[in-house]
């Protein structure tokens, strides 16, 4: 599942129109401050983060990249999100102020501009990327006092304030620039995966197992976890439970864990 784009049983891509990116902290074997750069065995220990791309409208985990909190992993996450959403431009992208997101989003969605030759001596200017007109990306700036958030401000990175306002007006769920939906999912995942609880004896002892359980809980959530706020009333007046995958148009029923684990998958390159 983690390496597959989609499978031979499911429509693709999801109906995602909006994205929130965030990172969720955990650790493997021991805390980062106890790891030694001179000890090869510590390379896969210490702090690890789930870099998560989330669809707030359908509560869908579109992509996750577990690993160290680096610009490279942020870039991998944004590229994988773009691939899994069929390369469509999102109506709105929001993140916190973690700096690597700007270059990652520009690298994934930007248009390449090749400067014309001037005919003068010297090296020609290198091609560079510019944000296309439809790219709307804003960040959340939080002001904290004594460990509490006392003020939240929106800052536009790509696009204009008018475009952000228009994206919010069209959004099915967002009334302000926020990362609250992906942060709420972070809490859900911590409840599903004891390895991610902040103070626990159940923390991961091995990186490969940590990575595997991360993929298991986050992706099985999409198909096997009915979300209360996604329920819809049927013609008979009864409420129908829906999972994020159902809301996003990827399936028509709630999957059992057994069904999710045993259905053969065909990887698309």
pLDDT tens-digit readout, 117-131: 877 887 878 888 999
Would you state the torsion angle of the CA atoms of residues 240, 172, 11, 258, taken in this order, to the nearest 10 degrees? -40
Residue pair 133/163 in contact (Cβ under 8 Å)? The answer is no
pLDDT per residue over 39-94, tens digit each?
A: 988 989 999 999 999 999 999 999 999 999 999 999 999 999 999 999 999 999 99
**Other Cβ atoms within 10 Å of 32 Cβ, number:** 14
* Residue 154 scores a pLDDT above 60: yes
Q: What is the pLDDT of residues 155-209, one digit of tens each?
A: 999 999 999 999 999 999 999 999 999 999 999 999 999 999 888 888 999 999 9
To which residue do tokens 């929001």 refer? 94
Sheet holding 18-28, edge to edge: 60-67, 46-55, 18-28, 92-95, 137-145, 148-158
The token duo for 9 is: 């049983």
CB 1, CB 264: distance < 8 Å: no
pTM, two decimal places: 0.89
How far is it, in rounded angstroms, from Cα 78 to Cα 244?
20
Query: Which residue, among 128, 72, 83, has the nearest Cα to 108 in the 3D structure?
Result: 83
Q: What is the mean pLDDT of residues 88-110?
A: 96
Integer Cα distance of 44 and 48 in angstroms = 9
Q: Mapping DSSP to helix (H, G, I), strand (E, B) and coil, where does residue 42 land?
A: helix
Report strand pairing: 18-28 vs 92-95.
parallel
DSSP secondary structure string for all residues of 65-103: EEESS-HHHHHHHHHHHHHHTTTPPPSEEEE-S-THHHH
Residue 7 pLDDT exceeds 90: no
Per-residue pLDDT tens digits for 237-261: 889 999 999 999 999 999 999 999 9
Cα distance between residue 40 and residue 110, in whole Å: 38
State the average pLDDT for the chain.
Answer: 90
Residue 29, pLDDT above cutoff 70: yes
Q: Are 219 and 61 in contact, with CB atoms under 8 Å apart? A: yes
Q: What pLDDT shows up at residue 49?
A: 96
């Amino acid at each position: 599942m983690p390496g597959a784009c989609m499978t031979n049983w499911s429509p693709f891509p999801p109906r995602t129109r909006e994205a929130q990116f965030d990172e969720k902290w955990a650790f493997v074997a021991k805390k980062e401050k106890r790891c030694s750069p001179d000890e090869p065995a510590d390379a896969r220990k210490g702090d690890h983060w789930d870099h998560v791309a989330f669809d707030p409208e359908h509560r869908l985990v579109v992509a996750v990249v577990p690993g160290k909190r680096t610009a490279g992993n942020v870039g991998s996450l944004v590229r994988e999100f773009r691939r899994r959403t069929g390369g469509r431009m999102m109506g709105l992208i929001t993140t916190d102020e973690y700096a690597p997101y700007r270059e990652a989003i520009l690298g994934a969605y930007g248009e390449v501009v090749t400067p014309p030759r001037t005919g003068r001596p010297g090296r020609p200017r290198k091609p560079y990327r510019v944000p296309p007109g439809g790219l709307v990306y804003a960040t959340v700036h939080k002001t904290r006092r004594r460990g509490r958030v006392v003020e939240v401000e929106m800052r536009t990175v790509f696009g204009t304030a008018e475009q952000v306002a228009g994206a919010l007006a069209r959004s099915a769920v967002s009334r302000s620039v926020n990362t609250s939906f992906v942060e709420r999912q972070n809490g859900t995942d911590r409840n599903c995966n004891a390895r991610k609880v902040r103070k626990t004896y159940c923390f991961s002892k091995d990186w490969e197992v940590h990575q595997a359980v991360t993929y298991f809980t986050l992706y099985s959530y999409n198909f096997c976890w009915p979300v209360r706020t996604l329920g819809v009333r049927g013609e008979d007046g009864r409420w129908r439970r829906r999972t994020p995958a159902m809301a996003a148009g990827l399936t028509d029923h709630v999957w059992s864990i057994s069904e999710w684990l045993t259905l053969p998958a065909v990887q698309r390159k």
